[in-house]
Amino acid sequence: MFDGLKDKLSGFREDVEENAEVEENAEVEEPAESDEPEGDEPVADESAAAESPEADHVAESDADAAETAASGGSDDADDDNEPSTFQRAKAFATGRIIIEEEDLEQPLWDLEMALLESDVEMSVAERILETVREKMLGESRKQVETTGELVESALHDALLDVIAVGQFDFEERIAEADKPVTIVFTGVNGVGKTTSIAKLSEWLADRGYSSVMANGDTYRAGANEQIQEHADRLDRELISHDQGGDPAAVIYDGVEYAEANDIDVVLGDTAGRLHTSDDLMAQLEKIDRVVDPDMTLFVDEAVAGQDAVNRAKEFNDAAEIDGAILTKADADSSGGAAISVAYVTGKPILFLGTGQGYDDLTLFEPEELVESLLGED
Ligand SMILES: Nc1nc2c(ncn2[C@@H]2O[C@H](COP(=O)(O)OP(=O)(O)OP(=O)(O)O)[C@@H](O)[C@H]2O)c(=O)[nH]1
Ligand SMILES: [Mg+2]
């Protein structure tokens, strides 16, 4: 899951570390190294090394540092753009790492490209870069020991900042709400709405909540049979009307059934639709009016990347959602939708679908996702 994105993030970490290391090496040129010249090294290099300052003879000001560096007099002149010895010494003394803005320029550019290639939405990528830059260069950054740790902590904060937007505790919301809790599922065709309803029914049962399914997909031929199969396998009640019936009426009946039978949650399916389909969007409005659901969850597939992000936004604009379920995360390497949906809609991702089995539904935990994206494995 999200392996492509993981690789790209670790590429950024390596880039910054490499840049910082090159500087480190350029600065602390040990005279000992020049004891055995490797043959083709020009003589000028040897004299430069001999005159280079020892780490504990730290210059006292920028001007001094510049002078000392200049006195190296080597033709290579690759010392010119280094952060001053003074800055480094100060950073060393205070246990902080100095990253120069220009060290970050190329890696940040590469990171932006990598995020966009991974289908991270533009405004989300920009926000991530902004936070990374701020955390790595700013005064407020955390105390860390190595450049690698600094990058990791900056990326961690930047990712969490966009991924955790609007997050709430779904289980707590269910526990505290008046019963029955009515949840309506929306989204385009074939993304996994019906499957997610079956999975969520199982997820709720595992936590002690009963549920009834109501098939508001009165549009597609075969929809009743499909959801009935799930209901039979899971031994749940299904409320359905004939094809062509009023979806709002079916879900309403589901709520009545739940009230009469002490069922905790009503899971209302709907037909797949585009936000541009006026008739079908009017149906959602009617469901809203007639049933007044406690939650409307937008379902889309993680593999759809940028398209899923755009649709989440369009659905939220047309018929406000409370959260999202991203299915088929098991088949998604880019991770762009998982990172972008919450920031773009202001509504959290609540679950990831991670396979075709009933147990393949995972509560979305931003912190866990960030850790796995930045993890070693
Ligand atoms: N690999 C994988 N497949 C999934 C996941 N969720 C759903 N699917 C598959 O996606 C296909 C479509 O799922 P449905 O639940 O029928 O989708 P839908 O949104 O209800 O489709 P319509 O009712 O036609 O709009 C099925 O073959 C599911 O098994 C998932 O998390 N991972
Ligand atoms: Mg369906």
Instruction: For 148-189, write each residue's pLDDT tens digit.
Output: 888 899 999 999 999 999 999 999 999 999 999 999 999 999
Per this entry, what is the length of the chain? Answer: 377
**Nearest atom of ligand 1 to the alpha carbon of 299:** 19
pLDDT band at 52 (very low <50, low <70, confident <90, very high): very low
Minimum CA distance residue for ligand 1 atom 26: 192
Between CA 245 and CA 255, with CA 249 as vertex, the angle to 5 degrees is 140
Higher pLDDT, 281 or 47: 281
For residue 163, the one-letter residue type is I
> Which part of the chain has CATH 1.20.120.140?
3-27+48-163
Minimum CA distance residue for ligand 1 atom 14: 192
| Residue ranges in 31-179 assigned as alpha helix (H) | 43-51, 62-70, 85-93, 101-117, 122-137, 147-163, 170-176
For residue 373, the one-letter residue type is L
Q: Return the CATH architecture of domain 3-27+48-163.
A: Up-down Bundle (1.20)
Higher pLDDT, 103 or 241: 241
Report whether 29 contacts 357 (CB < 8 A).
no
User: Considering the entire predicted model, what is its pTM?
Assistant: 0.82
Task: State the distance from the centre of ligand 1 to the C-alpha of 192, rounded, in angstroms.
Answer: 3
Higher pLDDT, 292 or 61: 292
* Superfamily, domain 170-366: P-loop containing nucleotide triphosphate hydrolases (3.40.50.300)
Q: Is the per-residue pLDDT at 86 higher than 70?
A: no
Task: State the distance from the centre of ligand 1 to the C-alpha of 102, rounded, in angstroms.
Answer: 47
> Which part of the chain has CATH 3.40.50.300?
170-366
